[in-house]
Structure 1
Amino acid sequence: MSFIAEFTVSNPIMQSTRRAIPEVTVEVEDEQPGQNGKSKLIFWATGPKDRLERFFHELPNDPSLRSFEILSTLPERRLFRVTLSPEGERGLTYVDAIDVGVTLLDIEASGNETRYRAQVPSRNALSQYRQRCEERGLSFDLRRLYRSNADATERHGLTPRQRDVLRRALEAGYFEVPREISTEELAEEFDISSQALSALLRRGHRAILRSMFSGGES
């Protein structure tokens, strides 16, 4: 049986901006590791409109970023895609997690704190991930560890949001040939941009495939 771990990591990604505007919460949608300084992060920033404006104006000065762009703007919510600087790359632990069999389910940050929820196959795997974080100079603080009585979707590493989007896409005929619903129409049902919907679908597919081909299927 696998475990669910809840922990914090002293992540440098947008740390100065988060400290300056603690009222804004960052929720990671997709991590895209790259080579030669091309790693990217897609995330939602949520908070009061005036705080989001200040968050936007602080980003160009953040040492963890090379550049950024806004993908979608909603009331009290904005979807960003950022390219990480070398300092930001230090906080991207996605590949380390995959290497030791840890599936990062949720990443949320505000102020000084970056909170994670992850599915881990064993205590040893979590210990290896913690060591990888420390090798990057990131402090790791385990808050909670409990056995997972996960349903099939969670066993495949899907977040509730990814599960809901994939299920609705299947029901609505998104995967039929030809498609019975467009990306834009499906995104509208979830009140998100088509880019955000594509990211959720991509991460959901990737989680299922990794679970299957790593021998994690039931």
Structure 2
Amino acid sequence: MTTVVELEVPAARLGFARTFDRVSTFEFQVGGMIGGSSPLVWTNGPDRETIEQALEADPSVEVITRVADGDEEPATEDGAATGQNDQWLFRLEFGDGVKLFKQIVTETDGAILTARGADGRWMLKLLFDDRKSVSTCHELFEQYEYQVAVTRISGIDDLASAQTPLTETQYETICKAHELGYFDVPRGVTLKELAAELDISHQALSERLRRSHAALVSAELSERTAPMAIDP
């Protein structure tokens, strides 16, 4: 049976480790990793110059070109816009870590459906023809020490219901915030205390919550108004 596998890989094993070190709020989503051409990568961070300088200094990637800016304006914690874009599109050439990863997936009859990252790790969704291919691929990941952590395995029939407007990191953050009473009135935990619980900076948490709220609101107000299932 066709199988979808969701997994996480440390950035140190695939790429962007240096960028994550320099920019704590850095997030990315790869536009497509099928084929041999250099992929388009959407990036998020404090400002374009900071992101571009971090990418230029990162030995795991090569910046081919900066393609375009996003249209979204970041907001402060109280919701006020800062007047700067916070999404930038680059065409990047990845290093040997990503190339070998793609080769392993391809040679085990798999395909990379999505790839994104935050907080020093990649989150990927892979598609395989059967469970045997999954096992073979996972053994190769272990052989080459990719430090893969599988977070979910599901059949193709579950793929549509697995879609969510939130990234896995955003979903985990919202769950923890709700669990600790951040959304209660009065609040059961402050933003600073929640950031400490999640072991991230105050700024990183503020921006992550803002993006999570924006994604949920956009999904609710879109034509697809039915509730969407969330990845565990």
After superposition, the C-alpha distances for 1:20-50 in whole angstroms (9 at most, x for unaligned) are 223221101133765xxxx7332110244x3
SS of 1:139's partner is: coil
Contact 1:3–1:120 (Cα < 8 Å) also in 2: yes
Q: Is the 8 A contact 1:28 1:106 kept in 2?
A: yes
Q: Which runs of 5+ in 1 are unaligned?
A: 161-218
How many residue pairs were aligned? Answer: 146
Which structure's residues are more often strand, by fraction? 1
Asked whether 1:53 is paired with 2:42, we answer no
Q: TM-score, normalised by structure 1?
A: 0.58
Contact 1:26/1:43 (CA < 8 Å) preserved in 2? yes
Identical-residue share of aligned pairs (%): 17
Structure 1 residues 32 and 106: CA distance shift in structure 2, 3 A = closer
Q: Are positions 1:96 and 2:92 aligned together?
A: no
Rounded Cα–Cα distance in structure 2 between residues aligned with 1:15 and 1:101: 28
Q: CA RMSD in A?
A: 2.7
Q: Give the secondary-structure state (helix, strand or coil) at the position aligned to 2:157.
A: coil
What is the CA–CA distance in structure 2 between the aligned matches of 1:66 and 1:2, rounded to whole Å? 34
State the Cα deviation string for residues 87-141 of structure 1 (Å, max 9, x = none): x222232232122111211101112110011222222211222223233331111
Query: What's 2:89 paired with?
Result: 79
> How big is the shift at 1:59?
1.4
Under a length normalisation based on structure 2, what TM-score does the superposition of the two structures give?
A: 0.55
> Where do residues 104-183 of structure 1 align in structure 2 (5 Å cutoff)?
104-149=112-157
What are the ranges of 5 or more consecutive residues in structure 2 without an aligned counterpart? 71-84, 165-232
Q: Tell me which residue corresponds to 2:26.
A: 24
Q: Which residue of 2 aligns with 1:203?
A: none
